């Protein structure tokens, strides 16, 4: 029920802020919309029970251990009980204020939602569409589960914004925070390579075929990763279980088609749009590899925020307002339905408040 209320609340806010009933200045309406939406998203995420999300119970157990461990004992290495030191120190600091896991969960929920809001404000031209894609694409629900990696992912997404704005100090700071939360944030080096490589026209067109060849020969790639990052060696082992993509494979196919269209067919495509297209391709291919190998789809989470911009790139290309409206409505409605199906039919997201 809470997920239905969430969707209705988002739609109501969009209608309200775009109506004559709202007397707020036009330039401030978007900020008020985002603030209202993400405050509610953070509350739902932060007040959830430990039974909501597969990893929530594990994080609660680690928090209790960290709270009863001295700072000195925590600072013996980069990992503590397989959790990166940045996340562990945040647990410890917040436990010194209020020694309660749910206080910590509320704080990191607001941190996550704030970072997503910041990313959308800087990149999205269609607030309602951007929010619905964020919610429906899995970014929000993944925040219930792989929380520290999702925080790292949006930190890197904002680091990308700083990179393209040549604000290298803030870019580096975001990267350091992200890698202290999840070591796989080292993948930001690939972001930097794409940014540098995309300066010359048509370079993205040249690199995409090699990306597909690399994905086809993914076993070589996985062996190389497991040798470099030994901590995640177990994640790279074949699960020996055939996983299924279900209906989400349709979304992956659409993302691939849009990305290839933007790079190879669309006229006047710019450097940034081409970068978002190849990031979206990385996201899809990571998920395909993840069907055969444990957790490899989680690498794709770092590229997931850019699929929001990818869908909006298509909308921006429509000169006819009616076609633009139809496209935005169809995409937003599709992601809204997909979110409700995912949330209401999955046992791991069966919602309870922590006091229930």
Give me the pLDDT at residue 224, please: 65
Q: Give the separation between CA 108 and CA 97, rounded to whole angstroms.
A: 14
| Residue 155 and residue 91 share a domain | yes
Regions in the chain scoring below 70 on pLDDT? 221-246, 294
User: Do residues 159 and 188 make contact, with C-beta atoms less than 8 angstroms apart?
Assistant: yes
**HSE, side-chain direction, 13 A CA sphere, residue 18:** 9
Give me the pLDDT at residue 343, please: 87
User: Do residues 195 and 163 make contact, with C-beta atoms less than 8 angstroms apart?
Assistant: yes
Within a domain: residue 131?
yes
Q: Give the separation between CA 87 and CA 41, rounded to whole angstroms.
A: 21
| Residue 248 and residue 269 share a domain | yes
Q: Give the separation between CA 340 and CA 300, rounded to whole angstroms.
A: 22
Q: Give the separation between CA 350 and CA 346, rounded to whole angstroms.
A: 7
Q: For residue 100, what are its two tokens?
A: 């309660």
Closest CA to 84 of 227, 221, 232: 232
Give me the pLDDT at residue 233, please: 54
Q: Give the separation between CA 251 and CA 146, rounded to whole angstroms.
A: 21
| Residue 70 and residue 166 share a domain | yes
Within a domain: residue 157?
yes
Question: 280-308 burial by CB neighbour count: b if 16+ within 10 A, else e?
Answer: bbbbbbbbbbbebbbbbbbbbbbbbbbbb
Task: Provide the whole-model pTM.
Answer: 0.90
| Residue 131 and residue 81 share a domain | yes
CA distances from 324 to 129, 206, 267 (A): 12, 31, 18
| Residue 236 and residue 159 share a domain | no
Give the number of other CB atoms < 10 A from CB of residue 325.
Answer: 12
- Domain count for the chain: 2
Within a domain: residue 162?
yes
pLDDT in tens, 230-278: 555 555 555 444 444 457 888 889 999 999 998 888 877 788 888 899 9
User: Do residues 94 and 107 make contact, with C-beta atoms less than 8 angstroms apart?
Assistant: yes
Share above pLDDT 70 across residues of the chain, in percent, rounded to a whole number = 92
pLDDT in tens, 234-245: 555 554 444 444
| Residue 213 and residue 134 share a domain | no
| Residue 224 and residue 115 share a domain | no
Give me the pLDDT at residue 74, please: 82
**HSE, side-chain direction, 13 A CA sphere, residue 3:** 21
Domain boundary among 185, 214, 239: 185
- Structural domain boundaries, residue 174: 1-185
Closest CA to 106 of 46, 148, 66: 46
| Residue 248 and residue 163 share a domain | no
| Residue 212 and residue 104 share a domain | no
Length of the chain, in residues: 356
| Residue 203 and residue 134 share a domain | no
Q: For residue 226, what are its two tokens?
A: 């497991």
| Residue 97 and residue 72 share a domain | yes
| Residue 258 and residue 172 share a domain | no
Closest CA to 137 of 163, 160, 116: 116
Domain boundary among 152, 185, 218: 185
Q: Give the separation between CA 149 and CA 127, rounded to whole angstroms.
A: 24
Within a domain: residue 328?
no
Within a domain: residue 347?
no
CB contact set of 187 (below 8 Å; sequence gap of 6+): 156, 299, 302
Say whether 109 sits in a helix, a strand or coil: helix
């Amino acid at each position: 029920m809470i997920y239905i209320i969430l969707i209705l609340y988002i739609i109501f806010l969009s209608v309200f802020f775009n109506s004559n009933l709202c007397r707020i200045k036009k330039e401030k309406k978007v900020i008020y919309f985002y603030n209202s939406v993400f405050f509610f998203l953070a509350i739902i995420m932060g007040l959830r029970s430990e039974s909501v999300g597969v990893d929530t119970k594990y994080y609660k157990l680690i928090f209790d251990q960290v709270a009863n461990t001295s700072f000195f004992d925590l600072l013996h290495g980069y990992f503590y009980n397989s959790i990166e030191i940045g996340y562990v120190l945040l647990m410890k600091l917040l436990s010194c204020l209020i020694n309660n896991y749910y206080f910590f969960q509320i704080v990191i929920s607001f941190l996550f939602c704030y970072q997503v809001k910041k990313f959308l404000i800087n990149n999205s031209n269609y607030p309602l569409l951007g929010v619905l894609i964020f919610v429906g694409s899995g970014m929000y629900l993944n925040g219930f589960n792989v929380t520290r990696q999702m925080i790292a992912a949006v930190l890197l997404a904002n680091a990308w914004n700083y990179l393209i704005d040549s604000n290298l100090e803030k870019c580096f700071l975001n990267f350091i925070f992200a890698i202290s939360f999840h070591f796989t944030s080292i993948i930001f080096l690939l972001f930097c390579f794409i940014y540098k490589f995309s300066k010359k026209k048509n370079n993205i067109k040249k690199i995409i075929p090699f990306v597909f060849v690399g994905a086809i020969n993914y076993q070589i790639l996985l062996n190389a990763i497991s040798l470099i990052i030994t901590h995640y060696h177990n994640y790279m082992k074949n699960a020996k279980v055939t996983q299924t993509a279900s209906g989400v494979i349709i979304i992956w196919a659409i993302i691939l088609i849009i990305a290839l269209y933007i790079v190879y067919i669309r006229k006047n495509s710019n450097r940034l749009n081409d970068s978002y297209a190849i990031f979206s391709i990385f996201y899809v291919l990571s998920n395909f590899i993840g069907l055969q190998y444990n957790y490899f789809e989680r690498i794709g989470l770092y590229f997931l925020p850019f699929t929001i911009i990818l869908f909006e790139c298509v909308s921006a290309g429509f000169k006819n307002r009616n076609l633009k409206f139809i496209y935005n409505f169809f995409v937003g409605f599709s992601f809204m339905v997909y979110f409700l199906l995912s949330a209401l039919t999955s046992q791991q997201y069966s919602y309870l408040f922590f006091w229930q």
